[in-house]
Amino acid sequence: MIEGRVLVEMKRSQGTVRHGYERQLEIYKDASRTNFGIFVVIDFGDLSDKLNQIMSIRNERIMAGDRASDIVVIDATRKASASKRK
């Protein structure tokens, strides 16, 4: 049996997204004794340039040959209900 740990950190788009990806997630991974992480951003429509910033950090880490946690964005913007769409 293969065992491993994957840390999942979730952040609201209004929060400190860059700090969360760049610093917090790494601290939590160290504390959990894992190299694997997934950073989930819940986008309420105000993500703006924050996604580009963390994608840039991720790409720099990959180019340097370091591990880089995956980034997942969940679109939580308000939408018309399915029953009201035309």
Question: Looking at the domain assignment, is residue 84 inside a domain?
Answer: no
For the chain, what is the domain count?
Answer: 1
Residue 27: domain span = 7-78
Q: What is the pLDDT of residue 2?
A: 73
Residue 2 belongs to some domain of the structure: no
pLDDT of 82 reads 74
pTM strictly above 0.75? yes
The neighbouring-strand residues paired with 12 are 42
- Residue 86 domain flag: no
Residue 43 included in any domain:
yes
2-47 pLDDT, tens digit per residue, is 778 899 999 999 999 999 999 999 999 999 999 999 999 999 999 9
* Within a domain: 1: no
Residue 59 lies in a domain: yes
Residues 46 and 11: beta-carbon distance below 8 Å: no
The pLDDT of residue 63? 97
pLDDT in tens, 60-83: 999 999 999 999 999 999 887 777
On whether residue 16 sits in a domain, the answer given is yes
